[in-house]
């Protein structure tokens, strides 16, 4: 009798175990079909297009985006749905898949709700909303951050909290410029997964425009980094595609340089790029910049072009401390030293500390430093361009404003 009971108990245990294993496999299958690391970027004209990148663990996935006008989607089975397909490639040396799509032919100044997936029922992402740029976008704000550079999930929670505060203070921000060093080790895909997961709420809505850092391109290789972003393919000859590019948003021309390789060839491209823009404002973003916490002489040649073409602002990273230069021209301070720079007297160079867990000891003050400190707190900047005025405001993650200056394209 007892033996029979034991057998029945064992059978019940086995049954539960088998059910559990089936359930686990079902859960894993459900999970593996879901897109992750979803991020939107500008690729073509921000008024009429928007690009997207995401990862999946699902073999032979299609890359599909569905979108419709408006801020909600009651149903995805209507003739209002517009569908775009893109490319799927295997992520370098992993069992993951990279999906990239660009939605084109969109209406300016219009909100769209979208989702991405493979087309299979359970493959769709959550829905999110993005807004195309208006025709005359002469008043807008963007957020600047640098060096999120984490390893663990907790590290990237700090980056997520930084963006949460940035959008609490600048809810109108139209996009983010990230000055490089997204993760500590670009080959550790888990780091990228955390990076996008902790910022999901923001980077599914507003473009995250990347700059290449020395932790993004390592020993001449940048494949994991560039696999995560779908950016303009208009960069310098000899640069890894996706590590140098430029784009226009409203009245501003943005040039994204790569301080990690191909410096000489980029100088030629930079000249052509700055020569060819007719936008009233020019902002350059680079990881290791010429006038940060200290000077970086390798890219000093670029400053002559910034002078020649009247670049307004250079956003930098790498130093993990805060620094802001006086307006500089020809390597010298110009202007009256006040916090308003009139009529392109010189270029201002900024490093907005770091948006992650790592802070460096503050370097020695240099002659060009107007503001220079280490507060050991994640920071971000909100930059508003409104007609002839650019206003730069830097905050820490607690919401304290720590620096502010203005650039004006008008004489006193």
By the criterion CB under 5 A, which residues form the site for Fe ion? 147, 149, 181
Q: Name the minimum Å distance from CB 322 to Fe ion.
A: 14
Nearer of residues 47 and 357 to Fe ion, judged by Cβ: 357
CA–CA dist 210, 253 (Å, integer)? 15
Angle between helices 263-276 and 300-309 in degrees, nearest 10:
10
Beta bridge partners of 281: 252
| Distances, alpha carbon 14 to alpha carbons 10, 20, 321, in Å | 6, 10, 58
215 close to 183: Cβ distance less than 8 angstroms: yes
Nearer of residues 61 and 181 to Fe ion, judged by Cβ: 181
Q: Name the minimum Å distance from CB 225 to Fe ion.
A: 13
Residue 121 class from Cβ within 10 Å (0-12 exposed, 13-18 middle, 19+ buried)?
exposed
Nearer of residues 267 and 360 to Fe ion, judged by Cβ: 360
Nearer of residues 149 and 239 to Fe ion, judged by Cβ: 149
CA-CA-CA-CA torsion sign (29, 30, 36, 38): positive
Q: Name the minimum Å distance from CB 178 to Fe ion.
A: 12
Write the DSSP symbol of residue 362.
P
Q: Name the minimum Å distance from CB 354 to Fe ion.
A: 7
Q: Name the minimum Å distance from CB 221 to Fe ion.
A: 17
Nearer of residues 56 and 148 to Fe ion, judged by Cβ: 148
CA–CA dist 38, 101 (Å, integer)? 11
CA–CA dist 148, 151 (Å, integer)? 10
Residue 34 class from Cβ within 10 Å (0-12 exposed, 13-18 middle, 19+ buried)?
middle
Q: Which residue is nearest to Fe ion (CB)?
A: 181
79 close to 68: Cβ distance less than 8 angstroms: no
Token pair for residue 357? 């867990």
Nearer of residues 273 and 321 to Fe ion, judged by Cβ: 321
Q: Name the minimum Å distance from CB 407 to Fe ion.
A: 26
Of 219, 202, 301, the residue nearest 257 (C-alpha)? 301
365 close to 325: Cβ distance less than 8 angstroms: no
Nearer of residues 94 and 375 to Fe ion, judged by Cβ: 375
Nearer of residues 147 and 312 to Fe ion, judged by Cβ: 147
Q: Name the minimum Å distance from CB 84 to Fe ion.
A: 35
105 close to 132: Cβ distance less than 8 angstroms: no
Q: Name the minimum Å distance from CB 360 to Fe ion.
A: 8
């Amino acid at each position: 009798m007892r033996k029979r009971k034991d057998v029945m108990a064992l059978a019940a245990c086995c049954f539960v175990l088998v059910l559990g294993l089936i359930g686990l496999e079902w859960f894993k299958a459900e999970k593996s079909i879901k897109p992750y690391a979803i991020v939107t970027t500008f690729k073509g004209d921000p008024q009429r297009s928007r690009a997207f990148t995401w990862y999946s663990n699902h073999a032979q996935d299609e890359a599909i985006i569905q979108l419709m006008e408006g801020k909600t989607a009651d149903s995805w089975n209507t003739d209002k749905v517009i569908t775009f397909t893109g490319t799927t490639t295997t992520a370098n040396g992993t069992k993951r898949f990279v999906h990239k799509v660009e939605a084109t032919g969109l209406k300016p100044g219009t909100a769209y709700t979208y989702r991405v997936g493979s087309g299979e029922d359970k493959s769709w992402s959550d829905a999110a909303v993005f807004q195309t740029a208006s025709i005359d976008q002469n008043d807008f704000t963007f957020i600047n951050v640098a060096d999120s550079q984490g390893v663990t999930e907790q590290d990237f929670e700090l980056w997520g909290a930084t963006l949460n505060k940035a959008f609490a203070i600048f809810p109108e921000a139209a996009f983010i410029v990230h000055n490089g060093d997204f993760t500590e080790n670009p080959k550790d895909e888990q780091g990228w997964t955390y990076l996008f997961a902790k910022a999901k709420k923001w980077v599914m809505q507003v473009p995250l425009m990347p700059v290449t850092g020395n932790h993004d391109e390592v020993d001449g290789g940048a494949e994991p980094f560039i696999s995560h972003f779908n950016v303009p393919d208009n960069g310098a000859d000899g640069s890894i595609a996706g590590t140098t590019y430029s784009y226009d948003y409203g009245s501003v021309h943005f040039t994204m340089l790569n301080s990690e390789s191909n410096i000489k060839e980029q100088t030629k491209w930079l000249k052509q790029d700055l020569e060819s823009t007719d936008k009233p404002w020019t902002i350059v973003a680079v990881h290791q910049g010429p006038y940060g916490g200290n000077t970086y002489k390798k890219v000093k040649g670029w400053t002559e072009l910034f002078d020649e073409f009247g670049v307004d602002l250079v956003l930098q990273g790498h130093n993990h401390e805060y620094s802001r230069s006086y307006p500089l021209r020809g390597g010298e301070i110009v202007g009256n030293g006040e916090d308003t720079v009139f009529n392109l007297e010189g270029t201002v160079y900024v490093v907005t500390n770091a948006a992650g867990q790592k802070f460096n000891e503050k370097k020695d003050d240099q002659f060009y430093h107007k503001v220079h400190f280490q507060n050991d707190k994640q920071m971000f900047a909100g930059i508003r361009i409104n007609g002839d005025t650019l206003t730069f405001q830097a905050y820490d993650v607690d919401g304290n404003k720590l620096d502010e200056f203005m650039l004006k394209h008008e004489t006193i």
